[in-house]
Amino acid sequence: MLKLILPLICFSFFPENLGFGEPLGEALGLYQQGKFEAAAQKYRQALSEEHQNASVLFNLGNSYYKAGDKGRAMAAYLRAQDLAPRDPDIKANIEFLQKQLKDQVTTKSSIQDSLTLKSFLSLKELFFVVMILVSGAAILISFGFWSIPWRKVTWSGAALLGLLGLMTGSVLGLRMVQQEQWGAVTAKSVDVYAGPSDQNSVVVFKLHEGAAIKLLEKQGRWYAIELADQKRGWLPEDQALFF
């Protein structure tokens, strides 16, 4: 329980800092007063007014959890983890919450390989790594033109940095093309169908509040989803949440 009642502002590393302007200041005050549903609404407002921020999503998840809404809490934590994949508090909250759910579906965090760039770096961080490598290669090439004695060494270094930049850029491009969107079931219980209809489609399995799901596509009012164990199906859009 300790991880979920930590101070609302998390001081571990995040790509973006959490400010204290409106409506974030109001959200903090409401949380401290025990008005968790109202605090969650303010954090949602902050997300709609600004670009998504891992700290805001983490605090939003805490507010939902304290309000008893485990499904929306899980969805917020999963999105926060996309933006801050190394943050230990987000990972701890996901694992803590998962143990309380009826469906012991493997969450995204537990199937990721922590040694890969996919789970270790966010898209923004990958972009900065590419820029640093490319800039370093350009500097070494320029230095080689001006310093003939060091030309062979500097150009070899530039080639190495360029190769690393190309490899990292390929990972970045692949991540952008295959970017996964994870969310969670918000209904207490929901039937998952073989197709985007509850009229002419069979129920393939059932999920419960908080189950982590990956969005594949959307047709009308239906989401095509996939679990970590690769089970697939369709559920109504009002039964799940993706940030």
pTM to 2 decimal places: 0.70
Dihedral sign, CA of 99, 102, 108, 111? positive
Per-residue pLDDT of the chain (243 residues; tens, 9 = 90+): 334 434 343 333 333 345 545 778 899 999 999 999 999 999 999 887 666 889 999 999 999 999 999 999 999 999 999 888 889 999 999 999 999 999 876 655 444 443 344 556 666 777 777 788 788 778 877 777 777 777 778 878 778 877 877 777 766 666 555 568 899 999 999 999 999 988 778 999 999 999 999 999 999 999 999 998 889 999 999 999 999
Structure tokens at 57: 């999503």
The count of domains in the chain is 3
Are residues 94 and 22 part of one domain?
yes
32 with 81, same domain: the answer is yes
CA distance 132 to 55: 25
In a domain, 16, yes or no: yes
**Same domain (yes/no): 186, 172:** no
Does 109 fall in a domain?
A: no
Domain that holds residue 125: 119-177
The answer to whether residue 114 sits within a structural domain is no
- Examine residue 131 and state whether it is found in any structural domain, yes or no: yes
Burial of 204 (0-12, 13-18, 19+ CB in 10 A): middle
Residue 107 is assigned to a structural domain of this protein: no
Asked, for residue 217, whether it belongs to a domain, the answer is yes
**27-84 per-position pLDDT tens digit:** 999 999 999 999 999 999 988 766 688 999 999 999 999 999 999 999 999 999 988 8
Q: Check whether residue 28 and residue 45 sit in a common domain.
A: yes
CATH number for the domain harbouring residue 228: 2.30.30.40
Q: Are residues 7 and 88 in the same domain?
A: yes
